[in-house]
Amino acid sequence: MGDTQTVLYIERQQIPLLWGYVMIGGAVALAAGSSAWIVADDGVRAASTPALIGLSLVGPAVLILASCLSMCVRVTHTHLEVSILPLLRRRISLEDITSFEPRDYRPLIEYGGWGIRYSLAGHGWAYTICGHQGVQLRLPTRQLLVGSCRPNELASAIRRAKATGTGA
C-alpha cells in the first residue's frame, strides 16, 4: 500500500442492540405464528413438516444477519469507501465528489428507513445503519448520503483528503 492508501478516517457502526432484538423478535414471532397454522382453501389445518422446518430457520437466519451487519466508512487520500457488510462495498473517488456537507436527515421520511435506501424525495441514495446524521455527497450524476455518528469529523477528513490527495 502506498501513501495514497493511508487511512485518514475510519468509522465502524453496528445495528443498535435494541433494533437487533426487535428484528429478531419480529422474525421469531412471524416464524412461530406462521408455522403453527397454514390457512388452506378448505379451512385451517396444521402446517406440513417442510413448512415448519423452513419457517423455523427464519429466526436464526435473521439473528445471524443482524449480528454480522455492520457499516464501515474509510477516507484515504484518494477515495471514500463505504461498506455495509456483507451486502455492499462502494469506493468513490474523491475527484468525483463535487460538494459535500454534514447534515441531519429524517431516515423514515426521506429514505423510508435505514440501510441501503433510495430517496423518492430527490436526495439520492443513502447508506446508513442507524442514527439521523450523515454527510451528503454530490457527485456529477447523483447524490449520496453516508450515515455517520461523527458527520463533522467525516466531512473534515474528506476536506483534508481532497486538499492533499493525489487523485485516482
- pLDDT of 15 > 80? The answer is no
Q: Return the amino acid letter for 28.
A: V
Cα gap 22→15, rounded to integer Å: 11
Residue spans per domain, the chain: 3-14+71-164, 17-67
- pLDDT of 80 > 70? The answer is yes
pLDDT at position 1: 41
CA distances from 62 to 19, 20, 30, 55, 71 (A): 12, 9, 11, 12, 17
Please give the CATH topology (third level) of the domain spanning 3-14+71-164: PH-domain like (2.30.29)
- pLDDT of 73 > 70? The answer is yes
Burial label, 63 (beta-carbon count in 10 A; 0-12, 13-18, 19+): middle
Q: What is the mean pLDDT of the chain?
A: 81
Q: What is the mean pLDDT of the segment spanning 95-112? A: 96
Cα gap 126→144, rounded to integer Å: 6
115: alpha, beta or left? (left if phi > 0; alpha if psi -120 to 50): left
pLDDT bucket at 9, cuts 50 / 70 / 90 = very high
Q: What is the mean pLDDT of the segment spanning 19-23? A: 63
pLDDT at position 56: 66
Nearest to 158 by CA among 87, 91, 88, 99: 99
pLDDT digits (tens, 9 = 90+) for 133-166: 999 999 999 999 999 999 999 999 999 999 986 5
pLDDT bucket at 2, cuts 50 / 70 / 90 = very low
pLDDT bucket at 100, cuts 50 / 70 / 90 = very high
Quick check: 63 and 127 in contact, CB under 8 A?
Answer: no
Quick check: 99 and 159 in contact, CB under 8 A?
Answer: no
CA distances from 96 to 8, 71, 78, 142 (A): 18, 22, 10, 10
Give how far the C-alpha of residue 138 lies from the chain's centroid of Cα atoms, to the nearest Å. 19
